[in-house]
Structure 1
């Protein structure tokens, strides 16, 4: 997706169009035209998806050993499958192998929020890449989904990612979302208001430590 497409989505969210459709309906997500085999799932999904988020040494060793085997084909098959387990695994694989060509696929998956659980990993991966387009996707997500208090999605994860990237890039995007964050929380009395990036920073440090290994 090019910069003009992202700008048009921003305008749509802001109400600068006469269209009545949700702003992400016209985005085409990356999807496989086939079912993944059991052998593929057993090798490239089952052993990984539940461990994403861990930072222990066994998980680090497992990933560094297998890193050279994680091909673009494996990443694309995971990202294209309509399942949170495969999609978050594909996004995570793209991060540890530093495959930034998948930013648009991951960003569109985040915006469309088609499957549960994967969004937090998308936010983590976009933050780890820290390219301007990653920031755009996170801001667009927050601009829209923070105004939808009945959608209990990945708003906190996206806000943590923006806060983290503000620290790295000396930007101030986090501040512009604070008012909407406060409104969003009004029907969520058990959600923590404060935003912390500690966990996210640990995850990104873990990803970066894997990237350093030759593969």
Structure 2
């Protein structure tokens, strides 16, 4: 196996399963210049990444309690190191930690990761975090994402998550950004028979309850 094949395998494991060239080359992704230690991954990634973005039908008190236990230890450096790692597991965990601790200074890093879509699976967490932050810049990033990626029906990425986030933010802000994307959404799902035409926010709102519960927990 040569170096090129090894690098391709590493990219696949990290979540870079679809190679594409979006028109966001002028945006520079934040990336670490070092490898995360095993101790760091064991404490700040592995116990969390599988639960982010999932909802079992009821608020999971064990999950909430586990987040409360570590919330007060989450520093900007921990979030930054997660976001800077080229892997969907670490990136979505870092974004999620930023929401739990309301550290909005990471919006541009998360927004750039969303727009460039360098790794799979993490985009849904970015959208959920932006829905939690509910700041104009978050809405701008979601709109930019949908403006482009809804015109790419062969890229089965996080368009549904972004639509749900936009609809939720419309609901709580009394805005109407969703209409900007409706016609493109209908065209986008034509080759996706299992994607529902109707956008709902029920599951997103329940997942956001977890974030809000932990966010209110005082250190």
TM-score normalized by structure 2? 0.87
Residue matched to 2:42: 42
Residue matched to 2:31: 31
Distance in 1 separating the partners of 2:186 and 2:67: 39
Distance in 2 separating the partners of 1:205 and 1:108: 25
Superposed CA RMSD in Å reads: 1.0
User: Are the aligned partners of 2:22 and 2:116 in contact in 1 as well (CA < 8 Å)?
Assistant: no
Q: Secondary structure at the match of 2:72?
A: helix
Alignment partner of 2:96 out of 70, 92, 95: 92
Is 1:179 aligned to residue 183 of structure 2?
yes
Distance in 1 separating the partners of 2:141 and 2:22: 16
Q: What per-residue deviation string (whole Å, max 9, x for no partner) do you get for residues 163-200 of structure 1?
A: 00001111111011000000001111221111110011
Query: Any unmatched runs of 5+ in structure 1?
Result: 1-20
Distance in 2 separating the partners of 1:136 and 1:205: 23
TM superposition shift of 1:23: 2.3
Residue matched to 2:107: 103
Q: What per-residue deviation string (whole Å, max 9, x for no partner) do you get for residues 72-96 of structure 1?
A: 1110000000000000000000000
TM-score normalized by structure 1? 0.89
Q: Secondary structure at the match of 1:49?
A: coil
Residue matched to 1:127: 131
Which runs of 4 or more aligned residues in structure 1 lie more than 2 Å from their structure 2 counterparts after TM superposition?
none
Residue matched to 1:197: 201
Residue matched to 1:5: none
